[in-house]
């Protein structure tokens, strides 16, 4: 039987320079979830900030975490927390930016390729190639013209996007909660 403990990892980069960039949307979603629960992170020995809480009254135990390192090094802290809390791969939810979805779109899936996303590549690598984790894909859209994708995701959201960002973050946080409480098929039906 699968463990009731879940790990929700919000991907991003550390420091104020990256705080409100497209690549840090995973951090923003976890900040929203912690605000809803009036919870605060503490530092761990795994190179991540984390907090453990129950999601909803009588809900499952959930570890909310963000790496204190850069995106392409996300796998080591995620794996450390999974091992420490005995979280199986199928109970890992990774919230990340997605270039292949227009801004504001939310897609949920289990497994699949990493699509060039270095944070996902790092996690999959540290899980020994196991891709059977859940992903909350936060659409940030493609870069304009010939702009490099890496430069684009490290920029702040446009003025037009910033007007909708709060609603988008809230929808992403709702999707995470649904994944844990209702499971993937029901969450996909509600979100897609």
Q: What is the pLDDT of residues 115-129, one digit of tens each?
A: 889 999 999 999 999
Q: Which of 23, 27, 117, 126 is catalytic?
A: 23
Residue 106: C-alpha distances to residues 24, 47, 102, 123, 179 (Å): 15, 28, 9, 21, 13
* Terminal Cα distance for the chain, rounded: 29
What is the pLDDT averaged over residues 27-55? 95
Q: pTM of the entire structure?
A: 0.95
> Hey, which CATH number is domain 6-191, 3.30.1950.10, 3.40.140.10, 3.40.50.1470, 3.40.50.2300?
3.40.50.1470
Q: Output the CA–CA distances (angstroms, integers) from residue 47 to 6, 67, 74, in the order listed.
A: 18, 6, 9
Segment 138-143 shows an average pLDDT of 96
Task: Tell me whether residue 23 is one of the annotated catalytic residues.
Answer: yes
- What's the confidence (pLDDT) of residue 2? 43
Give the pLDDT of residue 76: 97
Please tell me whether 70 is known to bind a ligand: yes
Q: What would the two tokens of residue 48 be?
A: 């991540």
Instruction: Give the contacts of 5 (CB within 8 A, at least 6 positions apart).
Output: 60, 61, 62, 63, 85, 86, 87, 91
Going from N- to C-terminal start, the domains of the chain cover 6-191
Asked whether residue 72 is marked as a ligand-binding residue, the answer is yes
Compute the average pLDDT of residues 50-73.
Answer: 91
Task: Say whether pLDDT at 56 is over 90.
Answer: no
């Amino acid at each position: 039987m699968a463990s009731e403990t879940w790990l929700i990892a919000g991907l991003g980069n550390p420091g104020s320079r990256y705080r409100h960039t497209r690549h840090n949307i995973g951090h923003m979603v976890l900040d929203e979830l912690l605000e809803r629960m009036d919870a605060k992170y503490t530092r761990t020995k795994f190179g991540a900030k984390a907090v453990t809480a129950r999601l909803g009254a009588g809900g499952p135990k959930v570890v909310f975490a963000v790496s204190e390192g850069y995106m392409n090094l996300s796998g080591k802290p995620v794996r450390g927390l999974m091992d420490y809390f005995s979280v199986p791969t199928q109970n890992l939810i990774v919230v990340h930016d997605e270039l292949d979805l227009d801004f504001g779109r939310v897609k949920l899936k289990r497994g699949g390729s990493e699509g060039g996303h270095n944070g996902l590549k790092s996690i999959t690598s540290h899980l020994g190639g196991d891709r059977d984790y859940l992903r909350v894909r936060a659409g940030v859209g493609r870069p304009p013209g010939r702009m490099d994708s890496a430069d684009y995701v490290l920029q702040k959201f446009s003025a037009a996007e910033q007007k909708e960002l709060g609603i988008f973050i809230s929808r992403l946080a709702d999707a995470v909660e649904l994944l844990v409480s209702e499971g993937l098929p029901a969450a996909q039906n509600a979100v897609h």
